[in-house]
Structure 1
Amino acid sequence: MLNSRKFYWLAQVGGWAGYFGLVALSRYTREPESMTGVYFLNIAIIILGGIITTHLQRFVFIKLGWLNMRLPALIPRLLISSTICATLIWGIDFISDYYTGLLDTIPDYEFSVSRMILGIIGVLILVLTWNAIYFTFHFFQKSRKQEISNLELLASNKESELKNLRSQLNPHFLFNSLNSIRALVDIDPNKAKKSITTLSNLLRQSLVLGKENLVSLENELNVAKSYLDLERVRFEERLRVEWEIDSDLAEFQVPPFSLQMMVENAIKHGISNLKDGGLVKISAHSSDDRVCIQVVNSGNLQKVMDLGVGIDNIQKRLELQYGDNASFALRELPDNFVEALMCFNNERV
């Protein structure tokens, strides 16, 4: 891909050569006998003069900061500088015509101020066209760079926010797990020791998975199972767990700890509030257009006043990472059940 400098010179040389090439072609169709070596030498001199003068004008644009000016301040400067350039180019053309003898081939030619002014105006239109093309391209490039810069800034902000959300996760998860173990210490020390071992393994997994933007559903399921093992020690027979996972979704990529937080929410706001405990059912299914991960728990949604960090964390991460390509919903089902549903476009499978 051409860089800006190479593109500028190709456009500069190609533009001037192309324009005067069309002028020569037009003259050839009318006066083929005039297409002499001297004529082409004169054309080459004018092309070189046009390139040099407009390049000097571009140097002024950059050096004096005209490229960043607003139109009311820019337009008069452009008119003055373009008139100077047009006068120089016309002068180069006139001198070239004089010394190469082309003026002698024009019938009844006489120099006059009015003829000079008309000639300069003709060249001025050409120079102003050059300016319009140059500034349009420059503003397009500037707008494109600004758009890229804005996108990079947005991506950086999203990455920072995602890192911040992930940093909230481990302390939040650890706090709830330690609370579960603390409840066992005085009641059943052996179970507490077993829970500490399970928690240790779980934290080891969290250190690895917490660094990733996405992890496989299989890894998420292992984390959720370890977490449920911890909670089953505390709730015993009050906690019933069912799994219904499509086997072909093992490698499907999801945000780390998203399923674990859904399960944790089901325990904290559902099972722990029920005297007789209840059911937590984890499902993962795919259809033609999407993949959905579902956690259903016994409980009642309207009794939930504050869902805390976990659910809010999931919603924000899905919005940042997927936009409209993922969704999260929490709703009450019949027969005293609550459903947490996280869905992704199936094109990601």
Structure 2
Amino acid sequence: MIKPFFPRQSRFWWYHCTALTVVGLVQVLFITFDRPHPVVDIFSSLLWVPLFTVAALVFRQRYIRLSWNTLGTAKLIFFSMLNIAAFSLIISAINLAIVIMIFSDQLFSGSFSENFFGFPHGTETILFNNTISTSLLLSAWVLFYIGIKSRQRAHQSENDRINTEHRLKEAQFRELSNQLNPHFLFNSLNNIRFTIHEDPNKADKALTALSDILRYSLDINTKSRVPLSHELQVVKQYLTVVDLHLEQRLDWQLAISDEVRQYLIPRMSLQPLVENAIKHGIEPSPSGGNLTIKVYLEAKNLTLEVMNTRSLSYPRETKPGTGLDNLKRRIAIIYSGSASLIIKKTATHYFVRLTLPQET
């Protein structure tokens, strides 16, 4: 996209006019100190302003269109100085030529000799001095402009980096969530498989519950956090499915107060804790076990705790599954270290504790 020659940003003109005002005040101070032609000096100064402004805008346009921001430091300095020298010489030459044409009688009264270009002797000194002073002022303007643009690019690069990291985290989160969906589906369908031939009515209820769970899980890519009450509903549906398979071998309780139900937690974060306790703690045991789900406030955190009994007579206990591994990675992406997932074991129980910052 081609930038307009005259910038539309008010900040640009504010900086530019402020700089010209300072330069003008300095020139006025010099003019008041016994200058032989104050009127000529004032006219030359006023004429210099639009010429300098045009030169600055041309430099800006070349800087943008030729993508000088991508040049190395040495090349940028070289091209900038080359343009500054050319623009300064052109500004000074035009300014001096117009001043001589209008005020020649005042400037060169009496007899005088001409130089090689047909101008009175002494004009080359004025031209040289004006070119040097304009070069210094234009160099300051260019340095300030490049500094501002460099700062803007650095700020934009930082914003782009943050946005890229955010999009990457979202992509990672969705990838982990998509890994969770087939894992959960497989375990649930496997539970229903044991019931479908024995009791079709129970299997139908289980499929209805599974349909609700899948509808919830398929919506996982829209919101990363949901109220705890939504997650509890899914957990109850999941336990309904599991009950059909384990029958009397599973006894579960909820210890959750109403005050914590509005707090936000990552979607599909409580269900993997329950699934892990059942699949790797209770289901392998012939006698089953007890499952307790607690959610409570602790300091500034919300703690979700799932506890299941261990079978002392059944030695084979499997390790936690991929659901917990995915959950660890998801909370690391969402909370950047401010959440934790801890697994503890005693002689009679397993504890999985998920600690999250309080969010409503």
Report the TM-score when normalising by structure 1: 0.83
Structure 2 distance, partners of 1:84, 1:148, is 37
* Contact 2:280 2:318 survives alignment (8 Å): no
CA deviation after TM superposition for structure 1 residue 176, in Å: 0.5
Structure 2 distance, partners of 1:4, 1:342, is 54
Structure 1 distance, partners of 2:162, 2:225, is 21
Which residue in the other structure is 1:72 paired with?
Answer: 74
- Structure 1 counterpart of 2:162, from 135, 140, 151: 151
Structure 2 distance, partners of 1:126, 1:272, is 82
CA deviation after TM superposition for structure 1 residue 102, in Å: 9.9
Listed as ranges, the matches of 1:291-310 within 5 Å are 291-299=302-310, 306-310=319-323
- Structure 1 counterpart of 2:59, from 57, 60, 71: 57
Which residue in the other structure is 1:45 paired with?
Answer: 47
C-alpha distance after superposition, 1:84-115 (max 9, x if no partner): 11222323443455456499589xx9726555
Which residue in the other structure is 1:26 paired with?
Answer: 29
- Structure 2 counterpart of 1:344, from 343, 347, 356: 356
CA deviation after TM superposition for structure 1 residue 32, in Å: 9.7
CA deviation after TM superposition for structure 1 residue 286, in Å: 1.4
Q: Does 1:179 align with 2:190?
A: yes
Structure 2 distance, partners of 1:80, 1:205, is 65
* Contact 1:220 1:256 survives alignment (8 Å): yes
Number of equivalenced pairs: 341
* Contact 2:59 2:83 survives alignment (8 Å): yes
* Contact 1:16 1:51 survives alignment (8 Å): no
Instruction: Identify, as 1 or 2, the structure richer in helix.
Output: 1
Structure 2 distance, partners of 1:251, 1:281, is 20
- Alignment CA distance shift 1:132-1:189 (3 Å): same
Q: Does 1:17 align with 2:20?
A: yes
- Alignment CA distance shift 1:26-1:285 (3 Å): farther
Structure 2 distance, partners of 1:189, 1:137, is 73
CA deviation after TM superposition for structure 1 residue 50, in Å: 0.5
* Contact 1:198 1:226 survives alignment (8 Å): yes
Of 7-16 and 243-252, the range deviating more from structure 2? 7-16
Q: Secondary structure at the match of 1:293?
A: strand
Structure 2 distance, partners of 1:206, 1:85, is 66
Of 6-15 and 65-74, the range deviating more from structure 2? 6-15
CA deviation after TM superposition for structure 1 residue 180, in Å: 1.0
CA deviation after TM superposition for structure 1 residue 307, in Å: 3.2
- Alignment CA distance shift 1:235-1:103 (3 Å): farther
Aligned partner letter, 2:83: S
Which residue in the other structure is 1:83 paired with?
Answer: 85
Q: Does 1:335 align with 2:335?
A: no
* Contact 2:93 2:127 survives alignment (8 Å): no
C-alpha distance after superposition, 1:245-286 (max 9, x if no partner): 131122211222111111001111111122322221111111
Q: Secondary structure at the match of 2:308?
A: strand
CA deviation after TM superposition for structure 1 residue 200, in Å: 3.4
Aligned partner letter, 2:332: E
* Contact 1:331 1:339 survives alignment (8 Å): yes
Which residue in the other structure is 1:324 paired with?
Answer: 337
Aligned partner letter, 1:247: D
* Contact 1:296 1:338 survives alignment (8 Å): yes
Percent identity over paired residues: 25
Structure 2 distance, partners of 1:267, 1:164, is 25
Of 304-313 and 165-174, the range deviating more from structure 2? 304-313
Aligned partner letter, 1:338: Y
CA deviation after TM superposition for structure 1 residue 223, in Å: 0.7
- Structure 2 counterpart of 1:131, from 142, 166, 179: 142
* Contact 1:299 1:338 survives alignment (8 Å): yes
- Structure 1 counterpart of 2:223, from 182, 192, 212: 212
Q: Secondary structure at the match of 1:283?
A: strand
Structure 2 distance, partners of 1:320, 1:27, is 64
- Structure 1 counterpart of 2:290, from 279, 285, 294: 279
Structure 1: segments with no counterpart, 5+ residues: none
Listed as ranges, the matches of 1:141-290 within 5 Å are 141-208=152-219, 211-290=222-301
CA deviation after TM superposition for structure 1 residue 203, in Å: 3.2
Of 148-157 and 169-178, the range deviating more from structure 2? 148-157
Of 150-159 and 7-16, the range deviating more from structure 2? 7-16
Of 62-71 and 113-122, the range deviating more from structure 2? 113-122
Aligned partner letter, 1:89: I
CA deviation after TM superposition for structure 1 residue 221, in Å: 0.5
Aligned partner letter, 2:350: V
Structure 2 distance, partners of 1:251, 1:324, is 23
* Contact 2:281 2:318 survives alignment (8 Å): no
Structure 2 distance, partners of 1:290, 1:34, is 80
Aligned partner letter, 2:82: I
Of 190-199 and 172-181, the range deviating more from structure 2? 190-199
Report the TM-score when normalising by structure 2: 0.81
* Contact 1:270 1:299 survives alignment (8 Å): yes
CA deviation after TM superposition for structure 1 residue 47, in Å: 0.8
